[in-house]
Amino acid sequence: MNPELEAFLPLVSQVDLTDPVAAREHYAKAAAARPTLDLTDMEVEDRMVPADPDVAVRIYRPRQAQGAMVWLHGGGFVMGDLDTEHLWAARLADGSGAVVISVGYRLAPEHRFPAALDDVYAVLCWAAEHAAELGIDAGRIAVGGHSAGGGLAAAVALRARDEQGPPIRFQLLNEPELDDRQESWSARNFTDTPWLNRDAVTASWRYYLGTTLATPYAAPARASDLSGLPPAYIATAEFDPNRDEDIDYALRLLRAGVSVDLHQWPGTFHGSQAILSAEVSQRQLAELAAALRRGLAD
């Protein structure tokens, strides 16, 4: 474990999804305690995207931005919203110079798969169709997300490919949740890792899928064909149950002819970049923004 992160472990609570409502409240409280960011040089706007039902988004527009990313928060498909993701979305927009469209997708177990994916796909289509209004280049739209949001980003890339939907320039997948089967070494053995462990991931998939059998649009690791997908940046944490499925997905993308930038962060755990004072966290966040900037470059 990275020494700076290890010092904070006594303060890191474990994800407990036994009661989804209580988990959301705890998650929101933790997010509200994080330091704020100066947004004076950025326009921030809340919108409702017409869909069935309409989807709430928060748009972060740095000055002279052209490219854009549809960004999806983490929280195991169960927790998180536009407010809990506010700091991270703003940081990505500020660091990358891209417009970031943060999506308030529907949460499980009240809204199981494919509700969240439908919300995200609706926002992607809306962003492409309204590119001129949003002041962005329709040919420079990325998708990205953290944890469950990373899984949703990978899934929407698959769906857009299969349905000949809006072209996606790039996918930014940070510690994504990709495989409900949990058969990898890290998924089977990381039962007591900080914040996120095997039990929490199991509960997350149970809430998201219910009795529905997983498809590649629910769990992208199940996709048999990864060809024709957008170039990807995939970041993994060393002590994360998702680690090995993410590395395997990156290798499969490469074998399918997709360009991949894979970064495995030693000494980190799932979501540890929330510990902003740690030097490794600062490097992780800066690299996410830099990867997005590269992915959307001309």
240 carries an active-site annotation = yes
CA–CA distance, 104 with 46 (Å, rounded to integer): 10
State yes or no: is 192 an active-site residue: no
Look at the chain and count its residues: 298
Q: 251: closest CA among 268, 267, 234?
A: 234
Q: Which residue type occupies 41?
A: D
Determine contact, residues 102/60, Cβ cutoff 8 Å.
yes
Tell me whether residue 196 is exposed, middle or buried, using C-beta atoms within 10 angstroms of its C-beta: 0 to 12, 13 to 18, 19 or more: buried
Amino acid residing at 283: R
Dist CA 29 CA 205 (whole Å): 23
Q: Which residues of 40-57 are buried (b: 16+ CB within 10 A; e: fewer)?
A: eebeeeebebeeeeebbb
From the candidates 81, 240, 244, 246, give the one annotated as an active-site residue. 240
Q: How far is CA 204 from CA 74, 180, 209, in A?
A: 11, 9, 9
Query: How many Cβ atoms from other residues are within 10 Å of residue 36's Cβ?
Result: 8
**Block residue for tokens 């969240």:** 116
Residue 12: both structure tokens together:
């890191």
Among the listed residues 81, 94, 102, 147, the single catalytic one is: 147
The CA angle 270-259-95, to the nearest 5 degrees, is 55
281 as an active site residue: the answer is no
Copy the structure tokens of residue 82: 């536009």
Spot the catalytic one: 179, 270, 272, 281.
270
The string over 89-111, giving b where at least 16 C-beta atoms fall within 10 Å of a residue's C-beta and e elsewhere, is bbbbbbbbbbbbbbbbbbbbeeb
Residues 131, 169 contacting (CB under 8 angstroms): no
DSSP element (H, E) containing 70: strand 68-72
Please list the active-site residues.
147, 240, 270
